[in-house]
Structure 1
Amino acid sequence: MTTALALHPALSHPELLAPPVARALAGWPAASAELVEVAAIDPELADTAAFCARYEVAPADGANCVVIAAKRGGTVGYAACLVAATTRADVNGLVRRHLDARKASFAPVDVVLAATDMEYGGITPIGLPADWPILIDAAVAAHPRIVVGAGIRGAKLWVPGRLLAELPGAVVLPDLGVPIG
Structure 2
Amino acid sequence: MTPSALQVGTLDWEPALAHPDLVAPSVHAALVRWAERVPEVAELVVCAEIDPADADTDAMTAAYEIPFELSANCVLVAGRRAGEERVAAAVVRATTRADVNGRVKALLDVRKASFLPMERAVAESGMEYGGITPIGLPDAWRVLLDPLAVAEGSVACIGSGVRRSKLVLPGALLATLPGVEVTPGLALPRAS
The separation in 2 between residues aligned to 1:152 and 1:32, in whole angstroms, is 19
**Aligned residue pairs, count:** 179
Residue 142 of structure 2 is matched in structure 1 by: 133
Contact persistence 1:130–1:168 (CA under 8 A) = no
1:95-144 C-alpha deviation (Å, 9 max, x unpaired): 10111111101011111111111100000000000111100000102252
One-letter amino acid of the counterpart of residue 151, structure 1: G
Structure 1, unmatched stretches of 5+, are none
Contact persistence 1:131–1:169 (CA under 8 A) = no
Which residues of 2 match residues 20-59 of structure 1 at below 5 A?
Answer: 20-27=26-33, 28-29=35-36, 30-59=39-68
Contact persistence 2:47–2:168 (CA under 8 A) = yes
Structure 2 counterpart SS, 1:34: helix
Structure 1 counterpart SS, 2:123: helix
Contact persistence 1:87–1:179 (CA under 8 A) = yes
The separation in 1 between residues aligned to 2:78 and 2:127, in whole angstroms, is 17
Which residues of 2 match residues 5-154 of structure 1 at below 5 A?
Answer: 5-27=11-33, 28-29=35-36, 30-142=39-151, 144-154=154-164
**TM-score, normalised on structure 1?**
0.94
Structure 2, unmatched stretches of 5+, are 1-8
Moved over 6 A (4+): none
Contact persistence 1:20–1:127 (CA under 8 A) = yes
Counting aligned pairs with the same residue, the percent is 50
Structure 2 counterpart SS, 1:57: coil
Contact persistence 2:147–2:182 (CA under 8 A) = yes
Contact persistence 2:149–2:156 (CA under 8 A) = yes
**TM-score, normalised on structure 2?**
0.89
Contact persistence 1:90–1:177 (CA under 8 A) = yes
